Structure 1
Amino acid sequence: MTAVAATAPGRRAAARGYARYAAGKLGGAAVSLFAVLVTGFFIFRIIPGDPVKVLTQGTPTTAEELAALRRQFGLDQPLWQQFTEYVTSALSGDLGMSYQFRAPVGELIAQKVPATLLLTGVAVVLYSAIGLRLGTRTAWRHGGTADRVHTAIALTLWSVPSFWLGLLLIVTLSVGVGPVPGLFPTGGMESGDTTGAARAVDIAHHLVLPVLTLVAVGYAQTLLVMRSSLLDEMGGDYLTTARAKGLRDAAVRRRHAVPNALLPVVTMVFINLGHVVAGSILVETVFSWPGLGGLFYQALRVPDLPLVQGLFMVFAGAMILMNLLADLLYPLLDPRVSR
């Protein structure tokens, strides 16, 4: 009873410490989100281009009609008034009306989310699993042939721009090279003439190249971060103690080394989960994938200010949320973080 009672104050102190830690992180996330809200308004107004002139390009338009469009879009108002209305609407959940699509920004984003979640979700699961597995193996047997080969490949792929890799895959595996025919579609999400199981197979066929592009770059980053983190842990005295107790090498790695090496990897994995919502603008554009990345590229070309602002908020908000979840998870992995 005495031992149990003695541990109760410690648990309460730990709970209070975690509560203060969580409150600080939540406050920081709220400040970051407001900073994104403000930045998203001003940064896209630096982009050269007049939305009204772009949208009426090729159509005979009088000065009165141009002025009417400016009034309709609210571009005739002073900048401070535009900013006030933008912040007020955004805080109430209204992201505005798209200039080019003449539809609510929220609805446009919701329509594109499934395609982005499919593409980036599959890619994140694959490259996280592959990168963590190979990063652990190469670090534990560092200096060997497998370590040198995997590290060299990862460094090369991490330095390659994703859009360039995507174009290379299109040339070699979609268009075909010499006697080698093209094996995969050049772009899009589906052919549009299939249903049922055949449609699922068709979508999977279209997924191969964009997923391969994302996996190639993502697994390289995950492998290198996991390898570096585990190498830092391998000199720890606690591993020597674990071995002295008679634990097998695999058990020492699994029970002691890997859990302590996961903190930086957790951050990266959660950031990658943020990318599941944000998508990959360059890869989606290269492969004409009908997701949020492609929609963002379309919006930038005008520029469609409500749409780019709404997408920027969604992208940044997803990253802030994932970082917050990673921060809240840290103390569960290592209680020293919240002290």
Structure 2
Amino acid sequence: MTADSTPALVKQADADTDGPAPAGPPAARGPRARNTKAYLTYVAAKIAGAAVSLFAVLVTSFFLFRLIPSDPVKQMTGGRRVSTEQLESLRHQFGLDQPMWQQFTTYVGDALTGDFGTSYQFHAPVMDKIVEALPATLLLTGTAYVLYSALGIWLGTRTAWRNGSTSDRFNTALALTLYSVPSFWLGLLLIIVFSVGIGPVPGMFPTGGLESGNETGFAYVLDVAHHMVLPVITLVAVGYAQTLLVMRSSLLDEMGSDYLTTARAKGLRDDAVRRRHAVPNAMLPTFTLMFVNLGHVVAGQILVETVFSWPGLGGLFYQGLSVPDLPLVQGLFFVFATAVILANTLADVLYPLLDPRVGR
């Protein structure tokens, strides 16, 4: 080796060590890019599936209610003596004299633009009636949704963490009982006991409706809240039971995991282990259930709203079925199904962000 060779080698080593990185993206970006692409593909598949489901609902809503053995025109005349010419005129007015295929194509074409036709009994656009009744449904079911979700998660966590205790057995048995009770039956029972009054219990709450109709300002708010008590209790009783059972089951599955043992070995208190480690992982199934129930907030509770004469979408749907008011029930059915499908799709889209194993 000559005297000049050493500096050359040193310069070459320095160049290899300190020189610029090779052209091209870093290798670490490869898995991230693949994960992003897989997630976008997963989201696109879910959105496409939701679109197919919505179209299937649109088709189903047309044929389903035509299976009802009733003539809408005769129902609207209320049994009055009406000539054949008048009946035919009404059928022509509502488009019921057209061939079935023509009614179907007209319905689908209009529905894709947001036009569900005109209600037979209200003589108003179906979308106007839906928009008019929607706030009452959101007020009732939205309030119940927040209450029973919070209550179900809290009690489900406590009962699972104290598995086998007296409180666990009591809360689980109560939840199973309430979950199996029909909501309309529970609503009728509450009306009998707390609205009509029975024995020493006086009637304390209205039997139904949204308001008394003679209050303004803050008194109006209190009046509406007074009318909401029994229907909200009915919805909360059934909804919290379902949430509690799902949350309890999920947390019980997590309690034997190794990561909880490791957390305890690090010196974390039992409360911190539950709150920071066990509950977040056990929330995943409950998260899905909450989004399913979120769709039902818009869909309303037909039986509960009917029992309590609540002027929401559920009560409107019941009125439409009594005729049957085909444009009204078709439009409401599509809105109900759309709310549930969109809520489920949103849950599917967000789920991989909480659990990276999903969608890969």
Superposed pair shares fold, TM > 0.5: yes
Q: Kindly report the root-mean-square deviation, in angstroms, between the aligned alpha carbons of the 2 structures.
A: 1.4
Unpaired segments ≥5 residues, structure 2: 1-19
The match for 2:55 is: 34
**Structure 1: distance between partners of 2:58 and 2:265:** 55
Q: Deviations over 1:100-138 (max 9, x none)?
A: 111000000000000000000000000000000000111
Question: Mapping of 1:127-276 within 5 angstroms?
Answer: 127-276=148-297
Q: Match for residue 309 of structure 2?
A: 288
Structure 1 residue 247: deviation in Å?
2.0
Q: Letter of the 2:137 partner, please give it.
A: T
| Corresponding residue of 1:327 | 348
Q: TM-score scaled by structure 2?
A: 0.92
Query: Within the alignment, does 1:77 sit opposite 2:98 as a pair?
Result: yes
**CA distance in structure 2 between the aligned counterparts of 1:7 and 1:294, rounded to whole angstroms:** 57
Measured in 1, the distance between the counterparts of 2:162 and 2:28 equals: 41
Alpha-carbon distance in structure 2 between the residues aligned to 1:39 and 1:263: 32
Superposition misfits of 4+ residues, deviation over 4 angstroms: none
Alpha-carbon distance, 1:244 to partner: 1.9
Matched AA of 2:78: Q
Letter in 1 for 2:297: V
How far apart in 1 are the matches of 2:61 and 2:74? 22
Task: Indicate which of 124, 128, 139 corresponds to 1:107.
Answer: 128
Please give the alpha-carbon distance, in whole angstroms, between the structure 2 residues aligned to 1:266 and 1:47: 37
Quote the Cα distance in structure 2 between the aligned partners of 1:138 and 1:269: 19
Aligned amino acid, residue 287 of structure 1: F
1:173-192 per-residue CA deviation (whole Å, 9 max, x = no partner) reads: 00111232101001101000
How many angstroms apart in 2 are the aligned matches of 1:252 and 1:32? 41
| Structure with greater Cα Rg | 2
Task: Report the equivalent of 1:303.
Answer: 324
CA 225–171 in structure 1, closer or farther in 2 if over 3 Å, else same = same
Task: Look up the equivalent residue of 1:29 and give its one-letter code.
Answer: A
1:17 — aligned with what? 38
Listed one character per residue, the Cα deviations across residues 8-40 of structure 1 (whole Å, up to 9, x for unaligned) are 222211111110110110011011111111111
Q: CA–CA distance in 2 between the matches of 1:330 and 1:248?
A: 29
